Amino acid sequence: MATFSSDLAILGGGLAGSLIALAMARHRPDLRVLLVEREDRLGGDHVWSFFETDVTPAHRDLVEPLIARRWSGYDVHFPGYSRMLATPYASVTSQRLDMMVRAALPAEALLTGVAVAEAGPQHVVLGDGRRLNARAVIDARGTHGLPHMAGGWQKFLGQMLHLSVPHGLERPVVMDARVDQLDGYRFVYCLPFGAREVFVEDTYYSSDHRLDAAALRQRVGDYAQGMGWHVDSVTYEETGVLPVIAGGDFEKFWNCAPDPSVARAGTRAALLNPMTSYSFPDAVRFAMHLTTLDNLSGDSLGRTSHAWAANHWRGGRFYRMLTRMLFGAARPEERRAVLARFYTLPETLIERFYAGRPALADMARVLAGKPPVPLGAAMASLAGRGYPLADLAPATESRNR
């Protein structure tokens, strides 16, 4: 069997792995990078969206080529209340991600259509028996679960709809919660990619990870009909079941991996916003951080990724507390009121919240005032005595906005 060699072997060509490969190609061209992906195409079937304030100016050169569509603001809708926010918004599609990675890396740096059977800090064994040796390996393959953590789920089905007449949307609708509240907190998300092309996603904050794709397809169709849109065709569909994390034991989570010394990225390292499942800002920050490292040996990279992920876990306390309150204090039918109140807060606060950089004053403002859930239930949820939280089981790479 052939043996490959590289300075850095990246396992998984989803968002996290592809961003690392792109960052290395741009900022560390001296390194030989190998990107290994199980599927034939990088990125899977996903739309990743983000607020432009999520990405610092120093990191925008990495993100800019990936943007398939951008808008000057976005809308949110709740019963009796709508708001337009002026924060610029942008989307990255898996098709564009695949195209840009292939343009940035030489053909020999991509190994697609091959599964990984075993990974160590400096080697990879493929499903076909080949062994790859590298100075360092980083595992960004996502995960099928987050053991030793608990919380709930954000689950969704989205479709790209081609319409017979223009939809009339000027900007994205990041949250339309005027829909029937089913299976927890439900909202619809709309991205107008063209005058007659709109991505519509039916999304739930649920205590149950099961996703009824047929039911969600029907609800997307019903929403389009309610908007007065005639659908000519569905050109694309994606689904996801992502964790929202209320608590857990980070060290047990890290150490239960087959080889805890292997460096990790993305959801495999729990690098996501615990409450929103939002991973884009963390994926960008970590990819850019890796380009600054002098020591890219396998053991050193493993320690670096563990330290980064542990620090991220500590920084997520506030978001995990909010998740406990959302799932442990609010009954499913009350969760909409929690989000409706959040969207009355100052726009700059909302920007910092989604970017994962809330100030102490922001945290106080989010918690201040009359809570939309019973105070006793809120306090009980913080002590772990609220409504039962779902154990985390199947999870995929986080892609949400």
pLDDT exceeds 60 at position 178: yes
Length of the chain: 401
Residue 196 token pair: 């007659």
User: 107 pLDDT band (50/70/90 cuts)?
Assistant: very high
Cβ atoms 270, 45 nearer than 8 A: no
Lowest mean per-residue pLDDT among 173-187, 247-261, 366-380: 366-380
Residue 94 token pair: 């898996």
Cβ atoms 287, 10 nearer than 8 A: no
d(CA 372, CA 78): 14
What is the secondary structure of 6-61 as a DSSP string? EEEEEE--SHHHHHHHHHHHHH-TTS-EEEEESSSSTT-S-EEEEEGGGS-GGGHH
Q: What is the pLDDT of residue 158?
A: 97
Q: What is the pLDDT of residue 142?
A: 87
Q: Select from 3.50.50.60, 3.30.70.1290, 1.20.120.10, 1.10.10.10 the CATH code of 4-71+90-142+257-315.
A: 3.50.50.60
Q: What is the pLDDT of residue 253?
A: 94
Top pLDDT among 45 and 98 is at 98
User: 212 pLDDT band (50/70/90 cuts)?
Assistant: very high
Q: What is the pLDDT of residue 331?
A: 74
Task: For domain 149-245, give the fold.
Answer: Alpha-Beta Plaits (3.30.70)
**H/E stretch holding 200:** strand 197-206
Tell me the percentage of the chain whose pLDDT exceeds 90: 79
C-alpha separations of 334 from 127, 240, 328, 329 in Å: 47, 23, 11, 9
Q: What is the pLDDT of residue 367?
A: 85
User: 1 pLDDT band (50/70/90 cuts)?
Assistant: very low
d(CA 246, CA 151): 4
How far from chain centre, in Å, is Cα 16? 10
Pairing of strands 4-11, 33-37: parallel
Q: Which residue has the tokens 């060509």?
A: 13
Q: Where are the domains of the chain?
A: 4-71+90-142+257-315, 149-245, 320-389
pLDDT exceeds 90 at position 375: no
Tens-digit pLDDT profile for residues 113-145:
999 999 999 999 999 999 999 999 999 998 767
pLDDT exceeds 90 at position 307: yes
Pairing of strands 89-93, 67-71: antiparallel
Residue 184 token pair: 């927890």
Tens-digit pLDDT profile for residues 6-25:
999 999 999 999 999 999 99
Residue 286 token pair: 């970590």
User: 369 pLDDT band (50/70/90 cuts)?
Assistant: low
C-alpha separations of 240 from 156, 165, 181, 395 in Å: 5, 29, 19, 8
> What is the reported pTM?
0.92
User: 214 pLDDT band (50/70/90 cuts)?
Assistant: very high
Q: What is the pLDDT of residue 382?
A: 45
d(CA 255, CA 261): 9
Tens-digit pLDDT profile for residues 230-289:
999 999 999 999 889 999 999 999 999 999 999 999 999 999 999 999 899 999 999 999
pLDDT exceeds 50 at position 391: no
pLDDT exceeds 60 at position 384: no
Tens-digit pLDDT profile for residues 139-173:
999 876 788 888 888 999 999 999 999 999 999 99
C-alpha separations of 84 from 175, 198, 347 in Å: 11, 19, 10
pLDDT exceeds 50 at position 390: no
pLDDT exceeds 50 at position 100: yes
Query: 312 Cβ partners below 8 Å, 6+ apart?
Result: 269, 270, 271, 282
Question: How far from each other are the two terminal CA atoms of the chain, in whole angstroms?
Answer: 42
Residue 362 token pair: 């922001």
